[in-house]
Structure 1
Amino acid sequence: MTLILRLTSVRSFRVTVPTLGSSAGLGSVWFGGCPTCDKLRTSATRYQNSVGFRTYANVAAKKKDPRLELYTVLSSRAQQLSKPEKGEVVRQRQKKQEILKTRKVSSHVRLEPVMSPPRPPEHTLSQRGLSSKSNINMYTSDQVEKMQSSQRNVSAPRWQTQHKKPFRSAPRVTESVVEKELDVLEEMEEEEAQEKLDVSRRQEEMEKMKNVERRQNEEQAYILSFMEACVSIGEVERATRTLHYLKNQKKKRKHLNADIYNVVLKGWAKQANMDKIRHLFFMMTKDGHHPNLQSYAAALECMGRAGLTGAVPMRCVKQMYKEGFNLENIFRDCTFQADEQEYILKAIQDGCGMADFAPPPLPLPQRCTTDLVSSIYADKSNDNYSDTSLQARPLFTEEEVVERCNAQLEMETQHWLKVESVEGQRQSSQEVLKLRELLQTHKTMWETGLLQAFRTLKKQMDRQSKAKGQVNIYPFLCVLEEQEYVDMMVQAICLVAVTGDPLLIIARDLGTKIQQKYRIKQKLQSGSVEKIRQIYQDYCSFMVNNVQGGRPGQARELWYQLEGDHSVSPVVGDECAWPINLIINLGSLLVDVMVREVKIDNNLFRKTSEQKLIPALYHMYTYRNIKQVGIIKPHPMLVQLVEGAQDTSLVFDSSLLPMLMPPVPWSSVKKGGFLLSPTKLMRSNDATLQHELLLEKVGTSELYPILDSLNQLGACAWKINQPILDLVIQVFNNKGSKELDIPQPVSEAPTFPKVGTEMLTNGDKQAMRKQMAQVRKLRSEMHSLRMDMLYKLSIANRFRHEIFYFPHNMDFRGRVYPCPPHFNHLGSDVARSILVFAEGHPLGEKGLDWLKIHLVNLTGFKKKNSQTERLEYANEMMEEVLDSADHPMMGRKWWMTADEPWQALACCMEIANAVRSPDPQAYISHFPVHQDGSCNGLQHYAALGRDITGAHQVNLMPAESPQDVYSGVARQVEKLRATDAEQGVKIAQVLDGFINRKVVKQTVMTVVYGVTRYGGRLQIQRQLKDIPDFPQDHGWEASGYLVKKVFMSLREIFTLAREIQDWLTESARLISHVGSAVQWVTPLGLPVVQPYHKVKNKLVRNEIQNIILNVSSDTSERPDIIKQKNAFPPNFIHSLDSTHMMLTSLHCQQAGIQYVSVHDCFWTHACTVDTMNRICRQQFVVLHSQPILEDLSKYLLAEYGTLPSELETSPTAVSKHDKLMEVLVDVPSKGDFDLNRVLDSTYFFS
């Protein structure tokens, strides 16, 4: 049946929608400008988007219902007509108001049946781009006839007889029929909306629970840190008073736990106060916090110190056994400091009368069961290598070992080291010397004022804490000596004078330094430093006499054994990490003192003796990236003073410098790296413990391959290439060199002449402001680069005559990095050129050839040539090589034309020394030779997909000469460009002759690591800017055109790789949609979780300014879907290349050869390149012989296969989960590439 709503309004239009219950399944409704019509129009529009309509259409499609086409047309038309133009809406409303003014309208809608579809006014349809003819043709003749026949036998309603209309009789249809049908549709929509609302509410409730748990953890960490600091400074009574205060506060009581009580228990145990111990045990039990093993250990320690015997110690032991603990567990699971273990043993043996009791021996280390490395750990016979051909003499004598161990320990105890700046080697003028005196005078004045202000602050905080017993900042102002706080503030003043950093950065740096020094002071007070000294000396004596620290795992096992011999607790004390809000609050207090107290003489540079002190620092607000940021701004006078003085010394934290002896081996997730400075195994944001908690869930034995690989890399001894360092310093102090990548000083930055503002138009002024902004940006970048190079060269110069080591750790994907950030072998061309191995080996038969091939690789001149051709080229250029070595700055300077000029120069010097030696094969070389992967990310993709075409492009298959994937992509892009140019595409014509390997290389290299089209566009634009003849006004358009062609070419060349990448991306997207962060386990057993969550603003309140932290790694927040899905493919590939590197590392150590890596670039001595190459290829094949994608699918199915119970009743959540299961099961298919062909590929790594 067709329903018509005739309106009193003149203007009306028609919307056709499926109507429930009509014989033809159709309803035709005329809408006009009135409230009822608006309601009907809204309902009809919503129905088009409703589940019911879509379901009906889907069913009709499956049954091949002839009405489906009609439904489609009507749906489209309803969507068009339900959105009238704004002008039409206004006209309808005005007309309605006029009608309402002239007469009272009792009903706006009248319904009348018709025999055929009525024709709306032609002008109304024409306004909508329709015609009445097309409207009628929407009904088939059979449908019209059927509707007419159904109406012939029905009498006309009364309302029709009142209007002389030429309509035949028809049944009465009331407004309630339409409203009833629309109500049904609204109910369906409401149910769907309610379902979404329920899901949203459940998610909100889960997030609220997580937020409550997070806040409680933060409060507990703050309280625990407070208690620990109080006990550390001897304020145990203050800690007890605060404990009572928290216990009596209803909202605070819930934050207390057994760990907080244990800190106070240990404080009273040191004072042998048994009454306090009893009282605290009573408080714990009353509040429902049952004493744990550490609680009973504190009680026994107190009894041992008090000399109690008989009934009291026996009752304690009996109660402990009743709670399910035993004495052996105390020595296995508890942490001890200083003499705690001795007094506990005294309480047991003397107090309880158990004279025969002895602490249990250390448990034997468990074996690693990971399949990939089971053969390495199965054979322990090779503790000392029988092959002595590579065994160099010990690097140090026994006396030097002791001396250097003590020096390293002393440097870490002081926590900082003063390093002379290489800029200080220049001759200083009288003006500079005068400014240095003035700066020193001001520093003395600042120290006096800051010390007095700091003491006042302490007294103020002390009164607050004593008066109310609340948790506050007071004990953290007492954990160090007062002068140490003042020294930190003075150092910060000099840094702020140069940079003018935001308050957040300055406060966080100050708070972090205080925490690190406090941790070192704790170890000194506990007496454990002397034990560490003895263990470290014994350990280093072994390391310096064994290549790479012996067999894999031997260094770790030796450290574990030495700890047992010196009665060091095998369990690492869980040092309470200060929460980030505490660190920032503490730092902000010191910054506030600096701003209030630091003054400078306003007449400093004026010819007057009168002193006028003004503030040297200002707290102000500025906008950065459209956000208001509080910064500490130095007075221009202070900037002039600090910069003009050209301080000749730099101060570095000991954790930022290389070590003088091998690092402490990683024996667990919390032990390793530096001796005293805290070192994280896995780098992570300070605001999250996500990675640490994940690592702790894994058995330590399963992480042995990862730990041993880090130990092997850290055991490599380095020294400085002094001739190269001297040349670099010379160029650096001679205003740098843009061509040689030595940053120039800010004085060399371009400046603009000052022009009077009255001579400029508004447009000129705007252009001038833009130019000045560019100059400021350039000057800031030049200063940053200059300071970075200054740090590198100054540290290198400080260690010029030393042998040193780099402790290593890793990021959350398993990629390995040296801990010292400023100077290491992962740095730039300059940094790499001044580093060589401390151990040297004879070149042997092929070593000199490898040096020559390495030199050609560094030049980049013969990338497409075979190794034989590269060697021939090196021999042909020998005259240039020797000239570069002999006269680097005054000769023909051939080395400066290389891609990596400084490393090329260093290699030229090494070759010159070798060929001029009496016997080149016997020449002792310390020079590292590199072997680079050929677009390593694509190599892993090609191996995962067994892609023959891709494998050929990235040198997984043997070939006479290397395949260059970048050149291949460039050729493909050029073909596409030429085709477009023939078809008249203007930008393709502009790019004629400008597409080459260099333009596309960076984008091709990073596509595999998840670069977006926008990011690739910026990369290509930068490359086009470096082409002198390219018309730069077409740069943006050209880069947009090229990035599309690069992506298109890669999809054609690496089809299977793109399928795998798409599968990983879709899997991550669906996993994130169900509310989880993506995590997986690498083939070597390392658990990985992506730390990308929604940004949460966290407010940190303090005196000087409230600070908002943008925390994106808070696990209580929902995952960031965009970052999770975009990052999963590159992160997964990074975890695979890290696994390959670690496998190569372990097997090189087993083979007794030197090995270090820069991600996918492997280094070794020239004489052992062939051995490393063989191992590298073997381990790549072993790795990819594993069912990596299938194992990943199984892991993800197991991890995300169960829907949370609170979402099981949600159809939407169930649907998303089902889709996720479908995708995870559908692992991409593989090609026919034979992995074993990699073993014979010369250019796989070359």
Structure 2
Amino acid sequence: VEQTKHKLKTGQAGKFYKDIAIYLDDLEPLAISTIVLKVVFDRVFSTQRGANLITPTLVAIGSALESECKFRWYKKEYPGLMHYISEKYFHNSCGTRQKEVIASQKFGQRDIRWTPWSIKAKTSLGRWALTLVMDTTQWFTISKRKTHRKRYDYRVVPTDLFNEKRAELIKSAELFSGIPWPMLVVPDDWGYDEEGNIIYGGYLTNTMMKGHDLTRKGNPTIIHGETPINFLNKLQAVKYCVNQHVLYTAEEMRLKGRIIGKFIPISPSTKLPRPVDADTNEKSNLAWRRAMAEAHNADRINFKRSVRTRTQLEAANKFKDDVFYLCWSFDYRGRAYPIPAFLTPQDTDFGKAILRFADEASVTDEAEFWLSFQVATTYGLDKETLEDRHLWVSKNTELITKVATDPVRYLSSWEEVDEPWQFMAACHEYYHCCIAKDKLTTGLMVAVDATCSGLQILAGLAADKSTAELVNVVPSNKPSDAYKAVAEQAKEFLPTYMHHWMTRSVCKRTVMTIPYNATKDSSRKYIRESLLEEGIDPTKDELTQIVNAVYNSMDSIVPGPMQVMRWIKKHVGQYIRNGATAVEWVTPSGFIVNQRRDDIETMRMELQLLGRTSIRLPTGNTTPSPNKHKSSTAPNYIHSFDASILHRSFNQFNEPFTVIHDSVLCRAGDMGTLNRLVRETYANIFSEEDWLSKFAKTINASEPPPIVGTLNPKDVSNSTYFFC
């Protein structure tokens, strides 16, 4: 395409190109190539009869190029109207043809009309473009077939070269890219041989295929310490089963088409019958057609949204009678992720609720306490004291009994709670273990989470007691609320009329993500979304004031963490600019993080009908990016520490467990032990080493790290709400 456009500019293209030259001016080669390839593949492999006939294919190519030009013209000449139409009428399920029809109608109603290209022009463009595709790829050709004594049809078909390539790709996919289901036998252990080579674990075929790496996006030559490897192998040995009660309830909700949280089954929208006067009443007919269009659009959107739920149910039904295991691997920071996509704890509320530990434990007094905790926490009382949560459960046994014994009938009692499916599962377990007492063992997964783990880690690194108090690192009578504290402090930087806007929910996502180097742009988005949910639509200037106030508030009440982040950003940037190609550090568990953040040449194209496309071009000449390292290092350093806390904690824990980043899950009777181990591990890690000073030497920092020095990490041992 580029060569053709160059010849047209220099007058060397020849007579054939004269008729199409004017149509190529408004489209860049990358856009033309993308559109043409899409149309060719769509037509050649369409299931519609005759779709790959030569003439319809040529016209389709020309029409697709015209559509892109038409939309660019709309946007250039009438940007306001085009934006209005896009926002009001286009949505995720809107196809390119539907978008074109809608835009043409709306512009036509305002007497704005595009001058259509002739069939001859579109055919000429299609012939030129198809010829280029066939010549450059060698993947398509024209097949001539006799259909009548004197008639032939001509079709665009794949060549033998393409079919060979396709067969090769499919064979490779079958061998190396199978669906990673849970396993019915214990996965192989990960490890290293005597020469330091990785012993591939997980799936039994992984030793030979090497399709799943120990460390995703990591350096495969690095040898990690024993502690993280033992942690991963322990995690793989845990037995799971499907929660039959949750699955039964889910199937009932699927049949009813009920959406509950992120459980989204297929639920067809209402289709109105055609009005009896549709043939004579144009207004009535138009209203019905619009209603039908919206109904079909809603169905398409629902079908896309229901994919996750449909696959979750398929997996649950596939394994509903089995005990199974999960294969796990690390990301390059040491966090553990399950390799299967379904039936894992790292899923939606429904996805978590569908799982149980297969090895159950006796229902002790401690188990009853933590089952009560799980009921109240999933209901939405996660900010209350443990005593208040337990009291709420004791006062609501009637509600719990209804939800446990007939969740379908009493759906309204649980569908709007904080985590509906986990709440329903917890009610069922609590009822049978603690109310009816007809069940003597429990396998429910009970979860406790870190309190704003980014700030907990930064408080330990900076030895900052004031921050530690805000995030439950030190003992307190009730859970501290850092989000609420930031919201209150932010009021000092805002005019009085904005004070009631500042709630914990408005500040929560920003406070959570600032330790991970969230930008002010993303904070604007989070804060605006939260305000809109509360019925407040701030102006641009007001939003800027609020964002700045939240950042100023963070500087005021968590100065240690903010200084640490700025220090890391500054000195990592210098380290890369001075010639380093990567940043590497050893975590407290012995996991080695190797962070590479390079600039890669990228071509970006935005099509009006097909959306935005980015093409990464690996030239082999990648350059370490100081800016990417500056934005990545602080969050990755924090993530590597929360991963290390789990690695070391579970090295001493020998009961079934699982993890979700900075959340730990185990059986109710084991939670007291696990909670103590996590606190002790945090205390030991931040007492045994000055980790920031060690990191300063690693990156040759020119200044010492900002250590506040007011925190005794051992205080966390008595903190009830550290993980809660």
**TM-score, length basis structure 1:** 0.41
Corresponding position of 1:803: 323
Identify which of 189, 196, 207 aligns with 1:665: 189
Letter of the aligned partner of 1:959 in structure 2?
Answer: S
Letter of the aligned partner of 1:1080 in structure 2?
Answer: W
Instruction: State the alpha-carbon separation in 2 of the partners of residues 1196 and 1059 from structure 1.
Output: 17
Decide whether aligned partners of structure 1 residues 594 and 1142 sit closer, same or farther in structure 2, where only a CA change above 3 A counts.
Answer: farther
Corresponding position of 1:1110: 616
Greater gyration radius:
1
Asked if the contact 1:1181/1:1236 (under 8 Å) is kept, the reply is: yes
Asked if the contact 1:866/1:961 (under 8 Å) is kept, the reply is: yes
Instruction: State the alpha-carbon separation in 2 of the partners of residues 1196 and 774 from structure 1.
Output: 58
Describe the superposition over 1:555-607 as per-residue Cα deviations: whole angstroms up to 9, x where unpaired.
Answer: xxxxxxxxxxxxxxxxxxxxxxxxxxxxxxxxx99x9869989x9xxxxxxxx
Asked if the contact 2:343/2:354 (under 8 Å) is kept, the reply is: no
Decide whether aligned partners of structure 1 residues 919 and 744 sit closer, same or farther in structure 2, where only a CA change above 3 A counts.
Answer: closer
Asked if the contact 1:882/1:912 (under 8 Å) is kept, the reply is: yes
Shift of 1:732: 3.2
Corresponding position of 1:1230: 708
Aligned pairs for 1:229-378 within 5 A: none
Asked if residue 959 in structure 1 is aligned to residue 466 in structure 2, the reply is no
Asked if the contact 1:736/1:743 (under 8 Å) is kept, the reply is: yes
Describe the superposition over 1:760-782 as per-residue Cα deviations: whole angstroms up to 9, x where unpaired.
Answer: xxxxxxxxxxxxx9999998765
Shift of 1:1080: 1.9
SS at match of 1:1147: coil
Describe the superposition over 1:689-725 as per-residue Cα deviations: whole angstroms up to 9, x where unpaired.
Answer: xx33xx4253xxx532221111111111110011212
Count of residues paired in the alignment: 542
Identify which of 548, 552, 564 aligns with 1:1048: 552
Asked if the contact 2:371/2:668 (under 8 Å) is kept, the reply is: yes
Identify which of 999, 1002, 1005 aligns with 2:512: 1005
Decide whether aligned partners of structure 1 residues 711 and 1147 sit closer, same or farther in structure 2, where only a CA change above 3 A counts.
Answer: same
SS at match of 1:963: coil
Letter of the aligned partner of 1:1085 in structure 2?
Answer: G
Corresponding position of 1:976: 493
Decide whether aligned partners of structure 1 residues 681 and 857 sit closer, same or farther in structure 2, where only a CA change above 3 A counts.
Answer: same
Identify which of 324, 337, 340 aligns with 1:820: 340
Asked if the contact 1:947/1:1232 (under 8 Å) is kept, the reply is: yes
Aligned pairs for 1:391-790 within 5 A: 654-668=178-192, 669-677=198-206, 678-684=210-216, 691-692=218-219, 695-698=220-223, 702-737=224-259, 739-743=260-264, 745=266, 748=269, 782-790=302-310
Corresponding position of 2:583: 1078
Instruction: State the alpha-carbon separation in 2 of the partners of residues 826 and 1089 from structure 1.
Output: 24
Corresponding position of 2:20: none
Shift of 1:842: 0.4
Shift of 1:1240: 0.3
SS at match of 1:809: strand
Corresponding position of 1:9: none
Corresponding position of 1:947: 464
SS at match of 2:201: strand
Asked if the contact 1:743/1:789 (under 8 Å) is kept, the reply is: yes
Shift of 1:1123: 1.4
Asked if the contact 1:859/1:897 (under 8 Å) is kept, the reply is: no
Decide whether aligned partners of structure 1 residues 970 and 1098 sit closer, same or farther in structure 2, where only a CA change above 3 A counts.
Answer: closer
Asked if the contact 1:1080/1:1196 (under 8 Å) is kept, the reply is: no
Asked if residue 1130 in structure 1 is aligned to residue 652 in structure 2, the reply is no
Shift of 1:613: 10
- The structure showing larger relative contact order (alpha-carbon pairs under 8 Å, at least 6 residues apart) is 2
Describe the superposition over 1:492-539 as per-residue Cα deviations: whole angstroms up to 9, x where unpaired.
Answer: xxxxxx9999xxxxxxxxxxxxxxxxxxxxxxxxxxxxxxxxxxxxxx
Instruction: State the alpha-carbon separation in 2 of the partners of residues 1087 and 996 from structure 1.
Output: 40
Instruction: State the alpha-carbon separation in 1 of the partners of residues 349 and 467 from structure 2.
Output: 30
Shift of 1:1083: 2.2
Decide whether aligned partners of structure 1 residues 1035 and 659 sit closer, same or farther in structure 2, where only a CA change above 3 A counts.
Answer: farther
SS at match of 2:365: coil
Decide whether aligned partners of structure 1 residues 1111 and 706 sit closer, same or farther in structure 2, where only a CA change above 3 A counts.
Answer: farther
Decide whether aligned partners of structure 1 residues 615 and 971 sit closer, same or farther in structure 2, where only a CA change above 3 A counts.
Answer: farther
Asked if the contact 1:1021/1:1035 (under 8 Å) is kept, the reply is: no
Corresponding position of 1:1193: 696
Instruction: State the alpha-carbon separation in 1 of the partners of residues 546 and 317 from structure 2.
Output: 45
Instruction: State the alpha-carbon separation in 2 of the partners of residues 781 and 953 from structure 1.
Output: 42
Identify which of 659, 663, 666 aligns with 1:1164: 666
Corresponding position of 2:311: 791
SS at match of 1:893: helix
SS at match of 1:836: strand
Aligned pairs for 1:785-934 within 5 A: 785-861=305-381, 863=383, 865-891=384-410, 893-918=412-437, 923-934=440-451
Shift of 1:1096: 2.5
Letter of the aligned partner of 1:1128 in structure 2?
Answer: T
Describe the superposition over 1:256-281 as per-residue Cα deviations: whole angstroms up to 9, x where unpaired.
Answer: xxxxxxxxxxxxxxxxxxxxxxxxxx
Describe the superposition over 1:406-462 as per-residue Cα deviations: whole angstroms up to 9, x where unpaired.
Answer: xxxxxxxxxxxxxxxxxxxxxxxxxxxxxxxxxxxx99x99xxxxxxxxxxxxxxxx
Describe the superposition over 1:1020-1078 as per-residue Cα deviations: whole angstroms up to 9, x where unpaired.
Answer: 12222322x32x3x365544332221111111111111111111111121122124232
Instruction: State the alpha-carbon separation in 2 of the partners of residues 1008 and 777 from structure 1.
Output: 40
Describe the superposition over 1:729-749 as per-residue Cα deviations: whole angstroms up to 9, x where unpaired.
Answer: 332343341x53223648549
Decide whether aligned partners of structure 1 residues 1222 and 950 sit closer, same or farther in structure 2, where only a CA change above 3 A counts.
Answer: same
Instruction: State the alpha-carbon separation in 1 of the partners of residues 583 and 433 from structure 2.
Output: 52
Asked if the contact 2:475/2:720 (under 8 Å) is kept, the reply is: yes
Describe the superposition over 1:45-90 as per-residue Cα deviations: whole angstroms up to 9, x where unpaired.
Answer: xxxxxxxxxxxxxxxxxxxxxxxxxxxxxxxxxxxxxxxxxxxxxx
Instruction: State the alpha-carbon separation in 1 of the partners of residues 333 and 511 from structure 2.
Output: 22
Q: Which runs of 5+ in 2 are unaligned?
A: 1-45, 51-92, 97-133, 146-152, 159-165, 167-174, 193-197, 275-281, 283-292, 605-612
Decide whether aligned partners of structure 1 residues 1057 and 839 sit closer, same or farther in structure 2, where only a CA change above 3 A counts.
Answer: same
Decide whether aligned partners of structure 1 residues 613 and 1001 sit closer, same or farther in structure 2, where only a CA change above 3 A counts.
Answer: farther
Q: Higher helix share goes to which structure?
A: 1
Describe the superposition over 1:129-166 as per-residue Cα deviations: whole angstroms up to 9, x where unpaired.
Answer: xxxxxxxxxxxxxxxxxxxxxxxxxxxxxxxxxxxxxx
Instruction: State the alpha-carbon separation in 1 of the partners of residues 139 and 270 from structure 2.
Output: 36
Letter of the aligned partner of 1:1236 in structure 2?
Answer: K
Q: Which runs of 5+ in 1 are unaligned?
A: 1-441, 447-497, 502-587, 600-611, 618-631, 633-650, 686-690, 754-758, 760-772, 982-988, 1100-1106, 1198-1220
Instruction: State the alpha-carbon separation in 1 of the partners of residues 140 and 484 from structure 2.
Output: 57
Describe the superposition over 1:541-564 as per-residue Cα deviations: whole angstroms up to 9, x where unpaired.
Answer: xxxxxxxxxxxxxxxxxxxxxxxx
Instruction: State the alpha-carbon separation in 1 of the partners of residues 363 and 657 from structure 2.
Output: 16
Asked if residue 1060 in structure 1 is aligned to residue 564 in structure 2, the reply is yes
Instruction: State the alpha-carbon separation in 2 of the partners of residues 667 and 1191 from structure 1.
Output: 27
Asked if the contact 2:486/2:507 (under 8 Å) is kept, the reply is: yes
Instruction: State the alpha-carbon separation in 1 of the partners of residues 222 and 176 from structure 2.
Output: 35
SS at match of 1:725: helix
Letter of the aligned partner of 2:577 in structure 1?
Answer: H
Letter of the aligned partner of 1:1170 in structure 2?
Answer: G
SS at match of 1:846: helix
Shift of 1:1176: 0.7
Percent of paired sites with the same residue = 24
Shift of 1:946: 1.2
Decide whether aligned partners of structure 1 residues 946 and 1108 sit closer, same or farther in structure 2, where only a CA change above 3 A counts.
Answer: closer
Shift of 1:1081: 2.0
